[in-house]
Structure 1
């Protein structure tokens, strides 16, 4: 039975939290299109971050499950790579359509497992569906080229082919977007894929996998498992079947997986951590900047790899920006995602909550000024107040460690060069933001900032049609856009005479 079969109710919030909890699905392992339950597998509780109460268990994959999934991917790849790009495109487009038909059901899972406000959850469904739609269209355009030959009787061709079965690992903060990005990219390129879903937010990935099979995917092309990441990475990366590994998560884990992948000559596609700087120059509309900066910063409770975190503000407008962002942060209503008034939900776990508390305690010891927030909220679940920290300098952990929570740190600067140096001082290079009135400043900063994504006078970092990847220790290769499909493809030169 589909995990979403009894939840297909449109795209408006028509349910209560209690009803949604009752519908939380039974979770197994989706191997080659078949959902497998029980059989002595150990389980882990999936925790509702809004209440701290268990939603239900998720089974943990065994070594036999891991082997079965990769064997299925080998057989599935033989079928899928020979399926025409046109037919693959039709299937991926059906997935996008089906996701939109079941938007409310998928949004329910997002709110339950991650605590997102309802409208944010619906927004994630639409972004994820757009990824499938883009891959459906761009997958039909695996163009090669003809190279003029030096010999009159020869034809020199450059061909683009799928790289092979892909091993994918996703983190918990984008339960639908991140699996969609990896699944749609790999499948659109003609690859099969085995995906390890986060055991903290597994339901969306499993539901997505079932939707893909409902739309006609041949058996074996996709498997979704949840389990020990070390066991699964060892099994899949050591297997001669897999030819690439794609991972979204921390830089530390990404480095380990990259080393393991390269040791077995598998392509590492890494989207890793960030600590995104924002440069704000004199001449901007302070109020508009503050409203949109706060909205971007506290989306998903700040648990976004490209979230703006380090705000460097020209001294002439610094005090005004601090005041305006503080006022906007105080307006945010924190609560349950099923409450229509909620604008920010909880952190995912007690572990994340403690990490944020430690960052703020250290910032206070360093003399930073907390203008609002800075405290855990006294209620069940893992809630933390939206927090603005002013007068941040470089010595505190907050200035050097990605907070991955609802904290914005502000620092004044005096010159353009000082701002660029502050922005580039860390090894992260995923996202960066520039807000200025003069085009010359925007143009210079676009060149000077060391980041894979530089956003000028805006806050939206990625679309399905744009490449998304980091520089320095924030990743290798890109996902999304034409570049995202190319990451899952090999180039072959052929000479015919």
Structure 2
């Protein structure tokens, strides 16, 4: 694993380092640099200088290099997935899926680089020509989380590079090795020195430099809503463009017209992917009274088939949580719910003696006053609540400051479309527990963020619109 940072094509170490552990075993994997404020400034210098040449390349030239990166990632997918499983914990098969999913963004934006179009506008007076052009915003600071250490990077870097921007990247200190390997492959693909610069270290120190720097024209961040609000406040001083993909509190609605078997299958995917450590993971289940027993019985049976263990074990389907704090949060949500009258139907066991393991847990008799129905758990906890009418469940589902993803299951097309229309979320999976795709916009309403990643929408946030009036 690479234990260095890179600025302007130069890989370097620091005297102070940060340890990285395997959450399944608590074993030390290695160390990464604790880069300084001076390093953060050097990264901006490098990205600013590289922007002059990278943004001047033809769209074809940039596209070819991004496509070469895509092909190298594909060639090294097993290696990247192995690194990810060791530092993040998810099962190896799931890590492979993330590498492939994230790489689809690289492929999409390699193609999208060639499709950044301008337009002409009819003039209102004779003798004028009005043009609109799109130009790269400049240096982009990308700050990525630990839960999807490959996909969160490719979703940000690929459109930035396609637009002609250069990047200073800070991955999570808990899962840095995936990021460093991806950037090394970008170098091998021919992406020039200074176009991508990577620093690990204290987030406040590094991001503080980038926020103060006027040459950093955009910040793209995935993480908690609380940190997103702080970034938004700090960015105001230099009026930076922002893309913020923040917390979620996804409802999963099962109506009496749902295909119960389909709903259960998709519920397992939505809730327990990455052990529930996903911003779009289902956080609360609402099941209509007439099908509550049928859904719950089948759902619990499928949950009981899940195997908790080290992600490198072939039979593991759920890995560890990322650290002790994550375990404590899940335990607190379970304890609160039980104290307020919820019943544990399965799971609830915590074993953090070797790794940070929590067995998938299903709760019944759940009410809105429980913490798990008000806050994002970010773990393998599935609370089930009952509802009577569509109007009731829509109101309850929307009664949150978050609006990232929601799921609704009904075989009646009118009912499904009504739910899709009324749910105040940026992503709605109708009979679909895994709606995310490289060609589609990913992002939320309300306090779940600003901007979109993916599709034609995802590159717009890396572009400035310039109007030219020719007399």
- Give the alignment's TM-score, normalised by structure 1: 0.93
Please show how residues 27-176 of structure 1 align to structure 2 within 5 Å.
Answer: 27-38=3-14, 40=15, 42-176=16-150
CA drift of 1:143 comes to: 0.6
Please show how residues 250-399 of structure 1 align to structure 2 within 5 Å.
Answer: 250-377=224-351, 379-399=353-373
CA drift of 1:248 comes to: 0.1
The whole-number CA distance in structure 1 between the counterparts of 2:247 and 2:25 is 28
* Aligned residues of 1:159 and 1:491 also touching (Cα < 8 A): yes
Aligned pair partner of 1:220 in 159, 180, 194? 194
SS in 1 for 2:244: strand
> Any idea what the Cα deviations from partners look like across 1:120-171, whole Å, max 9, x if unmatched?
0110110111110001111111111110112332110111111110011111
* Aligned residues of 2:2 and 2:181 also touching (Cα < 8 A): no
Aligned pair partner of 1:450 in 407, 413, 424? 424
* Aligned residues of 1:79 and 1:218 also touching (Cα < 8 A): no
Matched, 1:244 2:218: yes
CA drift of 1:375 comes to: 1.7
The whole-number CA distance in structure 1 between the counterparts of 2:48 and 2:363 is 51
> Any idea what the Cα deviations from partners look like across 1:339-378, whole Å, max 9, x if unmatched?
1111111111111111111111111111111111112036
> Any idea what the Cα deviations from partners look like across 1:82-128, whole Å, max 9, x if unmatched?
01111111111111110010011101111100111111011011011
CA gap of 1:486–1:119, structure 2 versus 1, over 3 A, is same
CA drift of 1:205 comes to: 0.6
In the alignment, what sits opposite 1:13?
none
The whole-number CA distance in structure 1 between the counterparts of 2:18 and 2:205 is 16
CA drift of 1:287 comes to: 2.5
The whole-number CA distance in structure 2 between the counterparts of 1:227 and 1:475 is 25
> Any idea what the Cα deviations from partners look like across 1:194-237, whole Å, max 9, x if unmatched?
01011000001111111111111121111011111111111001
* Aligned residues of 1:262 and 1:268 also touching (Cα < 8 A): no
The whole-number CA distance in structure 1 between the counterparts of 2:349 and 2:373 is 19
Structure 1 runs (4+) deviating above 4 angstroms are none
Please show how residues 172-211 of structure 1 align to structure 2 within 5 Å.
Answer: 172-211=146-185
The whole-number CA distance in structure 1 between the counterparts of 2:9 and 2:282 is 39
In the alignment, what sits opposite 1:410?
384
Aligned pair partner of 1:465 in 439, 455, 464? 439
In the alignment, what sits opposite 2:397?
423
* Aligned residues of 2:250 and 2:405 also touching (Cα < 8 A): yes
SS in 1 for 2:358: coil
The whole-number CA distance in structure 2 between the counterparts of 1:320 and 1:107 is 37
SS in 2 for 1:140: helix
The whole-number CA distance in structure 2 between the counterparts of 1:345 and 1:107 is 14
In the alignment, what sits opposite 1:10?
none
SS in 1 for 2:351: coil
* Aligned residues of 1:282 and 1:436 also touching (Cα < 8 A): yes
The whole-number CA distance in structure 1 between the counterparts of 2:333 and 2:304 is 20
Aligned pair partner of 1:484 in 448, 458, 462? 458
* Aligned residues of 2:81 and 2:92 also touching (Cα < 8 A): yes
| Structure 2: runs of 5+ lacking an equivalent | none
CA drift of 1:336 comes to: 1.3
SS in 2 for 1:401: coil
- Give the alignment's TM-score, normalised by structure 2: 0.98
The whole-number CA distance in structure 2 between the counterparts of 1:68 and 1:157 is 37
SS in 2 for 1:139: helix
